[in-house]
Structure formats: C-alpha cells, structure tokens
Structure 1
Amino acid sequence: MLHSRAARRLYASEGLEVSMASVAREAGVGKATLSRRFATRDELVNAVFTDRMEAYAAATKAALGDPDPWHGFTHYVETICGMQAADRGFAAVLTVSFPGATAAEARRTESYRGFLELISRAKATGHLRADFTSEDLVILLMATPASSPPPATPHPAPGAGSSASCSAPSPRPAPRSRRCPAHRLPPTSTGP
C-alpha cells in the first residue's frame, strides 16, 4: 500500500521520529486519509515492520539451529546489526515498545526469548564472557544506528553486504597470549 511504502522510506532514512503528517505528505495524501487507514502510529509501525520482524524472528531461529553455539550467537548479532544499519526505523522498533503493534511485539518477544537461549548456549561453550547479559545487546543495538551512515537504499536485504556491523568490543574474552600489547608513546621533548 502506498501509505506504508511512504512510511517505510521515511522510517528507514530518518527513524521513527517522523510524524504522521510527514508520512501523509510523502504518500501524497492528507493526514485524515492516512488516519483513516492507520488510526494510530502503532498500527502504522505494525504494518510497516511486519516483514522486518519476520526476518528478525527467522534470524533468531537460524541462529538457534546452528550446531556451533558461538557461531550462531555471533552470526545473529552481525545479522541484527546489519538489519539495523540498513533501516533506522527497524533499529527503533527493536529497542522501543509499541503496545499497539501486536504482531511486531509478539515477534520481538519470541526473538528475545531465543536470544536468551543463544546467550546461554554461547556461555556454555566458554566463548562468551560469563558477565554478558541481554542488556549488553540492547546497548549495542541502541548504539548501532548512531554509528552507521544512513542507508543507501530504502529496502536492502537483511544483513546483505552492510559494512556497518557491530563495532563494539567482542564479547568473547581474548586469549591471554593474543591481547594487544600496550602502546608506548615516543618520549616527548621538554625543550628546544
């Protein structure tokens, strides 16, 4: 539908702060026309992000199906960060509650439960730090859009070719022998 395509373009490039009036303008209709189709912002968000939330749930399911728990965890995080980098609106949908967007909220809840299982499995292998919590991912998800350039296209495939993967420190503890050596600054001169 024209209204949801207009909302998708704006949300992807500008985030969910876009007003309903801006969406109506982008769609070439009046605000009243948009409001007849979507009585609330939550209804519009639900319509716009249903497919993204389905992709999010599929990414969770795929990660849980990976026989290597660490690979499943890291691939999941990279995929979700790539999806966020490609769509600023999706980034907000993952970190903000929309009680009226029932389908999106159901998928987010389902995926969150799966992510808790991914954390548990990755910790059991010893690859994920014992002090990693689900809140660490929320912080990462909140930081990803701010560190990513706006998407080049409004509809990239989830996780496809985005160079804006998560740029936070790895949750895997570095082996002691592979830690980066301390950088030493050259001595400074105190006079001419």
Structure 2
Amino acid sequence: MRADAQRNAVKLRTAASELFQEHGLQVSLKEIARRAGVSHGTLYNLFGSREVLIDEVIADLAATRLSAAATRALASADPWQGFAGYLTEVCELQATDPALGDVLTRRYPDASRLMAVCDNSYAATEAIIARAHHDGSLRPDFTASDLLSFLASHAPLARATASTGSEAWRRQITFMLDGLRTAAATHPLPAAPLTPAQINHLLIQES
C-alpha cells in the first residue's frame, strides 16, 4: 500500500471509531469519509464495505469490553450477583455506547470478526446463566436465548432514555431481574424460547 493510502486508511479508521461510538454502526459512510478528510470513493477503495470497516475498528473493542464483563460475572463468588451484574453492565453498554449497542443486536451479520465476538459472548452468557441455574437462584426456564431477545428489545429504549440524560432504563433491568429469581417462577412459560438461529433471523429482518 502506498504511503498516502496508508495515511488515508489511518484517518478513516480513526474517524470510523469516533463516529461509530458516537452514533452507532449505522452512521453514514459519507460522514466517516468527511470527518477523515477523504473522498467517499477512497473509503470504498480502501475498505470495500461497511462490514469490513466495522471489523477493522470495532471487533477488538467489542471483544475486550464484552469479555471483561463476562470475566467479572464468572469470577463473582455469588452466581446470582454475577448474573445480575453482567446483565446490568451489558445494558449500560447499550445505553452509553451506541456501537456496542449495535454489536449486541447482531445487526451486521456480514462482519465476520464481529460475529465471532458475538458468538463468544453468547457462549460466556450461557456459562453465566448455568452458574445461576446450578446455584438455584435463577429460574430454571430462563435461557441465553431469552437474554439475547431481551437485549435486542432493550437496546432502543436504553439509547433513547440515555440520550435525555435519564437512567430510567435501570428500572426496566430491576423489574426484569426481580422476575427472574427462582421464587418468582410461579407460572410455567407459555412457549419455548427462540433458537439462536431464529433470533439471528429476527434481528437481521429488523435491522
């Protein structure tokens, strides 16, 4: 790659990282090129697609933050507190980091590195839930699929309330957690949870 192309690539990565974290992964590619001070065509010549750019600048960041949240949850001596802390931390990322909010809803399935991060996060979520099931604190019919469904529906609420300066989204988390304790499971659920494939299909259709 020529020296000028390398400089432009660095500018584009920096601009994309800033704008993705400010506005989410759907931010206009023209706006990224404008902030980087290069043409729209230069962006496409260097990266080819939004998904490639996302993988370049967001995948590692997402992996670091989601892995750290999971590590803290699994290290907790109290499985329920680990689960509750993980759910709260992930929802806080949805409220405060637009890019991470979009990552968690798997809106860009063609960003292969990012999808690998999501798969790893899902596996960690299963382990966190399994600990709370084994402990007897989390209702036994709650699954990682249910958590992913909740996060998908919670993302726009978290972002919208946070944009007003409110933390009202935390109320929804408290309601959710109170309903997930084993003692609250007094009625059988009326349907099976969505499978991961069904959730992925739903999220792609909604994006």
User: TM-score, normalising length from structure 2?
Assistant: 0.69
| Higher normalized helix content (fraction of residues) | 2
Q: What's the C-alpha RMSD, in Å, of the aligned pairs?
A: 2.6
Structure number with the bigger relative contact order (C-alpha 8 A, sep ≥ 6) is 1
Number of equivalences: 167
CA gap 1:175/1:94 in 2 versus in 1, 3 angstroms: closer
Distance (whole Å) between structure 1 residues aligned to residue 72 and residue 85 of structure 2: 9
1:167 is aligned to 172
Q: 1:6 aligns with which of 15, 22, 43?
A: 15
Q: Please state how far the C-alpha of 1:62 moved relative to its aligned partner.
A: 2.2
Quote the sequence identity (%): 33
Whether the 8 Å CA contact 2:13–2:56 is kept in 1: the answer is yes
User: TM-score, normalising length from structure 1?
Assistant: 0.74
2:73 is aligned to 63
Q: Please state how far the C-alpha of 1:119 moved relative to its aligned partner.
A: 0.9
Q: Please state how far the C-alpha of 1:122 moved relative to its aligned partner.
A: 0.7
Unpaired segments of 5 or more residues in structure 1? 153-161, 177-192
Whether the 8 Å CA contact 2:94–2:159 is kept in 1: the answer is no
Residues 116-159 of structure 1, C-alpha deviations (whole Å, 9 max, x = no match): 0111111122211122122221122123331134667xxxxxxx
1:132 is aligned to 142
Distance (whole Å) between structure 2 residues aligned to residue 106 and residue 175 of structure 1: 34
Residues 83-111 of structure 1, C-alpha deviations (whole Å, 9 max, x = no match): 11112222111222545534322222122
CA gap 1:14/1:97 in 2 versus in 1, 3 angstroms: closer
Whether the 8 Å CA contact 1:63–1:75 is kept in 2: the answer is yes
Unpaired segments of 5 or more residues in structure 2? 1-9, 186-207
In our comparison, the structure showing a higher alpha carbon Rg is: 1
1:185 is aligned to none
